[in-house]
C-alpha cells in the first residue's frame, strides 16, 4: 500500500496525527463544535464563523481530496460566501 503525501511529508509525526484525529472527533461529537474554533484564520485571511447556531467554514469543500483533513467529520458547513 502506498503512503499518502500526508504520511510522507517532511516533519510529519504519525503519533501527533493520531492524537489530532482523536481530539477532532471529541470536539465534533462530544462538544458539538467545529474542529477549528470560530475566528480561526485560513490562508487569504478567511475565517471560520459561527452564525445562528451554525459553524461556517470557508475551506471545507476544498479539502475533499486531502487525506490529512478532518473536515469529513467536522460539523461545520461550507460557508456559501466561498463557493
Is the CB of residue 78 less than 8 Å from the CB of residue 36? no
- Sign of the alpha-carbon dihedral angle for 17, 18, 22, 23: negative
Average pLDDT, the chain: 88
Q: What is the pLDDT of residue 68?
A: 82
Q: For residue 52, is it left (φ>0), alpha (ψ between -120 and 50) or beta?
A: left
User: Does residue 5 carry a pLDDT above 50?
Assistant: no
Average pLDDT of the residues in 55-77: 92
**What does residue 57 show for φ and ψ, rounded to 5 degrees?**
-110, 130
Residue 11 has what pLDDT? 74
3 state DSSP class of 57: strand
Helical residues (DSSP H) of 1-83, grouped into ranges: 5-8, 14-25
Per-residue pLDDT at 55: 97
Amino acid at each position: 500500500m502506498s503512503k499518502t503525501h500526508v504520511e510522507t511529508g517532511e516533519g510529519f509525526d504519525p503519533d501527533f496525527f493520531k492524537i489530532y484525529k482523536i481530539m477532532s472527533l471529541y470536539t465534533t461529537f462530544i462538544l458539538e463544535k467545529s474542529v477549528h474554533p470560530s475566528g480561526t484564520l485560513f490562508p487569504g485571511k478567511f475565517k471560520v464563523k459561527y452564525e445562528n447556531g451554525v459553524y461556517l467554514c470557508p475551506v471545507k469543500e476544498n479539502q475533499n481530496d486531502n487525506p490529512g483533513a478532518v473536515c469529513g467529520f467536522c460539523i461545520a458547513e461550507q460557508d456559501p460566501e466561498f463557493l
